Amino acid sequence: MAIACHRSQVTEEKVGDEHGLFPRPLTERELATLRFMLSVPDGRLDPLRSQVPFTTVVGRCPCPCASIELSVDRSQATAAQGLGERPAVSTVGQEPGNELNTYFLMVWLDKGWLSSLEVAYIEHLPTEFPPLELFEPPKIDEPSTEESIRTRVWSTLRSRLRR
Ligand SMILES: [Zn+2]
């Protein structure tokens, strides 16, 4: 068993222009997932919400999960401040009745700009973003605790294995 698709892999093997597939608009499902992640009632996310209409997909994870690389037209919005970046927002979800089908959604930033929407998983590789009903309400990963998602991933996994 492994928790797959760490951001470091995405960066190292970043897929560039895949036969002209990028840049492209977000699909409906990608857009719904991004909006869900940015729905945290916190004013620090306002700039990110304002970036969404000016965001395009510029790459995808090679693994090949649904994770996507994002780019914002920086002339059209402002950068977010006071947030962590790696990730800024995250949540965890699980398929009912299958506790090892666990997913993590994360939004990554680059100096306050949307840079990646990532799904990490424990058992089942999601080639599309999983249904949003599976997920807990997203949370801001405070900058002071940038390792918190990693901590949460492992504590979730450990608690499930212990049962
Ligand atoms: Zn991946």
CA of 53 to the centre of ligand 1 (A): 24
User: pTM for the full model?
Assistant: 0.82
pLDDT score recorded for residue 161: 59
Mean pLDDT across 19-45:
95
Percentage of the residues of the chain whose pLDDT score is greater than 90: 61
**pLDDT > 60? residue 153:** yes
Q: Which of 87, 33, 90 is nearest to 57 (CA)?
A: 33
> Rounded CA gap, 139 and 161, in Å?
24
pLDDT score recorded for residue 20: 77
CA of 130 to the centre of ligand 1 (A): 13
Q: Where are the domains of the chain?
A: 7-17+27-162
DSSP 132: G
More confident residue, 66 or 86: 66
Contact indicator for 47, 80 with CB cutoff of 8 Å:
yes
CA of 124 to the centre of ligand 1 (A): 11
**Residue 88, number of CB atoms within 10 A of its CB:** 27
What per-residue string of b and e applies to 108-129 under the rule 16 or more CB within 10 Å gives b? bbeebbbbbbbbbbbeeebeeb
**pLDDT > 60? residue 15:** no
CA of 7 to the centre of ligand 1 (A): 8
State the pLDDT confidence band at 105, using cuts at 50, 70 and 90.
very high
> Rounded CA gap, 49 and 25, in Å?
16
State the pLDDT confidence band at 157, using cuts at 50, 70 and 90.
low
For the ranges 24-28, 100-104, 154-158, the lowest mean pLDDT is seen at 154-158
Contact indicator for 58, 22 with CB cutoff of 8 Å:
yes
Q: What is the CA radius of gyration of the chain?
A: 15
pLDDT score recorded for residue 1: 42
CA of 118 to the centre of ligand 1 (A): 8
